[in-house]
Structure 1
Amino acid sequence: MRRVLIFLLLLVPLLVGRKSKSKSCKRTTFSRSTTNYEAWREQMTVCDLLEDYDPAVRPSGRTPYNDTKGAVVVTTSLNVRSISAVSEKNMEFVAQFRFRQEWYDDRLRFFTKEDTLIQSEYRNFEFIHVARDQNLWIPDTFFQNEKNGWYHYLNQENRFLKIRSDGKLIYDRRLTLHLACSMHLSRYPMDHQNCEIAFASYAYTTDDIEYVWDVPAIQIHEKANGALPNFEIASFKNGSCTSKTNTGIYSCLKVEIRLNRVFSFFLLQLYIPSSMLVGVAWVSYWIDWKSTAARVPLAIVTLLTMITTSHAINSNLPPVSYAKSIDIWVGACVVFIFFSLIEYAVVNYMGILDEHRQMRKAACNRSRLSNVIDNDNGFGESLQSLTFSPQEKKRLIRRRHKKSLELQEGEGDFESIEMTDCGPPRTAGHMEQGWTFHDTTDLVYIGQRKRVELVRWCSVLSSRGRAERIDIIARILFPIAFLLFNFAYWSIYLEDDEP
């Protein structure tokens, strides 16, 4: 029993040591006439190369151009197939690309000018394919801003590993990654975002692995923009992101991709509809202020619609601490619609006050006229003692002569009676006090006529009630204010902040 235990203890280290080595090849014999003779030749070459090969040990760093030992130089390149699913809420984007790495492993050379045996007809090919079950040393590359990802296996694993005759390895793999992208949304949706793809060695420092870019370093597929609904790839550039940590200096490379947001979508889906909602809210200024059932629902419906639109927009955006340009636009539209509701509250309040004042004034005037008619003998004295306007006095005199003064009951009847002047008609030369007619070709007269029209418009405005005057002013003031806001808004945000 003791001998069995000792044998097992000696056997375990041997098994563990063999586990790290590459899988041995099965030796077979083929003739030259066999169809897959070329493939068999390649695999036999790989078997010879992997005879004493340990994939756990990195290459020495020697190349055909530099025979000194050092760090393994890994030449990399990216072929971006598509960039899709840019998420502002999660601050990430999805990229599908082919990632290629090339390096030299002097243990895998199978063709040199000095070795005549290797130059034989059985090994005169330049590249050979490595089977998936044959283990070689591969750089432990990882993507620093990767959040999730996967390799492609349809229908077979989308990768290949080739060995060149001088010991150069080419490792190409297709993968899809969810990559973090730090976005600044202060100019959303007229912004652009700079996202990057950064990769480095996970365990090896620059003493062991050094990454360099191939030429060309980056290739963007011509249809890569087709998968982006709201963005387009404006530019890209490669760079270095080598960092120093407590454990050493790690070689790192990155690709910076600039994504410009397509603004036409937001123009058609947000800016134009919201502007129309603001215009619909202004329709209430042309509706009679007494039509409460028409004006209040119009303002409330447009206000709720704008608030709902704001919530729908923010549900797809992260909760940031700064104001976005779309927040300013939506907030301004909400304010304009809300002010239209406040304007009607003021108009309604002023209109009710005017009606009450007219009712009190009409009642007071009816009381005065009743006293004057009852006291017929003292009509002259009473007429002189009461404080009437000249028009009211003339009207009382006419009605006194006719003996048919009628007291009309109702709200504001007396105020609605037209006050006419019984004086002689004004001649053409005295249409307005201080103004005389001139030839229409006279420039002075044209300027005077414009001022007369302005004065006439002001007099018409002053003859209206306060509620109607507020509505008339709002019809002009609110559109002008909205146009000024648009001018300032688009002047600021349409200007590109970066070249």
Structure 2
Amino acid sequence: MSLLGPGTKLEISLTLSCPMDLKLYPLDRQTCQLRMASYGWTTDDLVFLWKDGDPVQIVKKLHLPRFTLEKFFTDYCNSKTNTGEYSCLRVDLRFKREFSYYLIQIYIPCCMLVIVSWVSFWLDQNAIPARVSLGVTTLLTMATQTSGINASLPPVSYTKAIDVWTGVCLTFVFGALLEFALVNYASRSDMHRENMKKQQRRQWELEQAALEAAAASQDHLEDGATFPMKPLMRHPSGHHHHHHHHPHNNDPLGLEKARQCEIHMTPQTAQATCKSWLSKFPTRSKRIDVVSRITFPLKPLMRHPSGHHHHHHHHPHNNDPLGLEKARQCEIHMTPQTAQATCKSWLSKFPTRSKRIDVVSRITFPLVFALFNLVYWSTYLFQEEEKD
């Protein structure tokens, strides 16, 4: 066998494969190495040399479906063994993956699915079929999207960037479905509590009606039977002392009614309780005295630390429905106590726990998802540039 002469040209057509590191997929850059070496002749017989000036020629309009050739490097990779030294040429091709395809096919659809799952937070709590179907549909669609992405990739033992993205999106969709389960449980709990309050209110009204009926019956008996005995009951000073018997006067300050008012704390209940309590005093003068006994001792407690009276002006119209004034005050006096008080005041606008869960979810889910996007893109883009 004779060796090729120095002026001999040899054309070789090769189909090569390139092992890739997919940890940053699809935000990655891949470096493919091409080595040409002689395994039959040592450097004493055959030497490979790169041509001076433009050793690698690439078609100017080269277009790959998902990659862009950024640059290439040429070098020598001679190897020494027990049988001698062998000549070797190496060229490194640097490819950048086109991200626009994955942005349109993967990232934007996943974002849309996550946002669609948040629509259930704005639906009525009693719209159970709509919220369940929306949550299950988005969950299944997201699972199908994830499986389709992994089917087009080789199975690897490490976690890829696309796995983190799809996993977090799937978690958000699943969390939206769990949020509805929590809202449904809280709604049933609120309904049970409301029914218990109605039963207690109905029982209290029945008891009050029975007491009033008994009081009316007792007053009728006293007017007919004990009237002749009244002149015998004189006060030591000589004046008649009339004892008005109240059969249900075991609660002169209305503590029982105050307790019932605390259980059923609504403006209608408070007004009805106040009227029922004042009806025990038949004359207006008596009512003024009783109210003064309670009101005047409370006034010294309502004083400013400087000694002046601190008058609380009641504003019948709420000019700050969204709590912007409290938010401004919280920004000026930013303390944990102020923040907690502002949060409680804002949540108090929603009477039921189920409504509060929905309102908090409307704010929490988008904020957490936006924070995840910020961390995700900054982390993987920074790693990709650092690797470069």
Q: One fold, TM greater than 0.5?
A: yes
Letter in 1 for 2:118: W
d(CA) in 2 for partners of 1:211, 1:347: 74
Q: Secondary structure at the match of 2:10?
A: strand
Are positions 1:490 and 2:329 aligned together? no
**Could you say if the C-alpha distance between residues 447 and 229 of structure 1 is closer, same or farther in structure 2, counting changes exceeding 3 Å?**
same
Q: What corresponds to 1:329 in structure 2? A: 165
Are positions 1:306 and 2:178 aligned together? no
Are positions 1:473 and 2:368 aligned together? no
Q: Equivalent of 1:223, from 48, 61, 73? A: 61
Contiguous gaps of at least 5 residues in structure 1: 1-55, 60-102, 105-167, 403-427, 438-445
RMSD (Å) for aligned C-alpha atoms: 2.9
Deviations along 1:79-115, whole A, 9 cap, x unmatched? xxxxxxxxxxxxxxxxxxxxxxxx42xxxxxxxxxxx
Deviation at 1:429, TM superposition (A): 7.3
Q: Secondary structure at the match of 1:205?
A: coil
**Could you say if the C-alpha distance between residues 256 and 354 of structure 1 is closer, same or farther in structure 2, counting changes exceeding 3 Å?**
same
Q: What corresponds to 1:430 in structure 2? A: 313
The correspondence of residues 347-362 of structure 1 with structure 2, limited to 5 A, is 347-362=183-198
Letter in 1 for 2:18: C
Q: Secondary structure at the match of 2:8?
A: strand
Contiguous gaps of at least 5 residues in structure 2: 216-246, 280-310, 331-338
d(CA) in 2 for partners of 1:256, 1:477: 48
d(CA) in 2 for partners of 1:448, 1:473: 18
Are positions 1:277 and 2:149 aligned together? no
Deviation at 1:209, TM superposition (A): 1.2
| Larger strand proportion of the pair | 1
Deviation at 1:206, TM superposition (A): 2.0
The correspondence of residues 204-223 of structure 1 with structure 2, limited to 5 A, is 204-215=41-52, 216-223=54-61
Are positions 1:372 and 2:244 aligned together? no
d(CA) in 1 for partners of 2:133, 2:373: 26
Are positions 1:395 and 2:276 aligned together? no
Q: Does the Cα contact within 8 Å between 2:327 and 2:342 map onto a contact in 1?
A: no
Q: Secondary structure at the match of 2:124?
A: coil
Deviations along 1:140-159, whole A, 9 cap, x unmatched? xxxxxxxxxxxxxxxxxxxx
**Could you say if the C-alpha distance between residues 357 and 319 of structure 1 is closer, same or farther in structure 2, counting changes exceeding 3 Å?**
same
Deviation at 1:385, TM superposition (A): 3.8
d(CA) in 2 for partners of 1:449, 1:303: 36
Deviation at 1:379, TM superposition (A): 5.1
| Larger helix proportion of the pair | 2
Are positions 1:295 and 2:131 aligned together? yes
Q: What corresponds to 2:100 in structure 1? A: 264
Q: Percent identity?
A: 38
The correspondence of residues 83-482 of structure 1 with structure 2, limited to 5 A, is 103-104=5-6, 168-173=7-12, 175-177=13-15, 179-215=16-52, 216-224=54-62, 226=63, 228-376=64-212, 377=215, 378=247, 381=250, 384-385=255-256, 387-389=259-261, 392=269, 394-396=271-273, 398=275, 430-431=313-314, 450-451=328-329, 458-459=344-345, 461-462=347-348, 463-482=350-369
Letter in 1 for 2:184: N
Q: What corresponds to 2:3 in structure 1? A: 58
d(CA) in 2 for partners of 1:393, 1:195: 80
Q: What corresponds to 1:93 in structure 2? A: none
Deviation at 1:342, TM superposition (A): 1.1
Deviations along 1:15-58, whole A, 9 cap, x unmatched? xxxxxxxxxxxxxxxxxxxxxxxxxxxxxxxxxxxxxxxxx133
Q: Greater CA radius of gyration, 1 or 2?
A: 1
Letter in 2 for 1:301: T
Deviation at 1:447, TM superposition (A): 6.1
Deviation at 1:360, TM superposition (A): 1.6
Deviation at 1:335, TM superposition (A): 0.8
Deviation at 1:348, TM superposition (A): 1.0
- The two structures have a TM-score, normalised by structure 1, of 0.55
Aligned length: 297
Q: Does the Cα contact within 8 Å between 2:261 and 2:273 map onto a contact in 1?
A: no
**Could you say if the C-alpha distance between residues 206 and 241 of structure 1 is closer, same or farther in structure 2, counting changes exceeding 3 Å?**
same
Deviation at 1:257, TM superposition (A): 0.4
d(CA) in 2 for partners of 1:288, 1:246: 80
Q: Does the Cα contact within 8 Å between 2:326 and 2:342 map onto a contact in 1?
A: no
The correspondence of residues 9-20 of structure 1 with structure 2, limited to 5 A, is none
**Could you say if the C-alpha distance between residues 264 and 364 of structure 1 is closer, same or farther in structure 2, counting changes exceeding 3 Å?**
same
Q: Secondary structure at the match of 2:360?
A: helix
The structure showing larger relative contact order (alpha-carbon pairs under 8 Å, at least 6 residues apart) is 2
Deviation at 1:223, TM superposition (A): 1.8
Q: Does the Cα contact within 8 Å between 1:372 and 1:379 map onto a contact in 2?
A: no
**Could you say if the C-alpha distance between residues 448 and 268 of structure 1 is closer, same or farther in structure 2, counting changes exceeding 3 Å?**
closer
Q: Does the Cα contact within 8 Å between 1:373 and 1:379 map onto a contact in 2?
A: no
- The two structures have a TM-score, normalised by structure 2, of 0.69
Deviation at 1:448, TM superposition (A): 6.8
**Could you say if the C-alpha distance between residues 447 and 283 of structure 1 is closer, same or farther in structure 2, counting changes exceeding 3 Å?**
closer
d(CA) in 2 for partners of 1:347, 1:476: 15
d(CA) in 2 for partners of 1:349, 1:449: 31
d(CA) in 2 for partners of 1:234, 1:251: 27
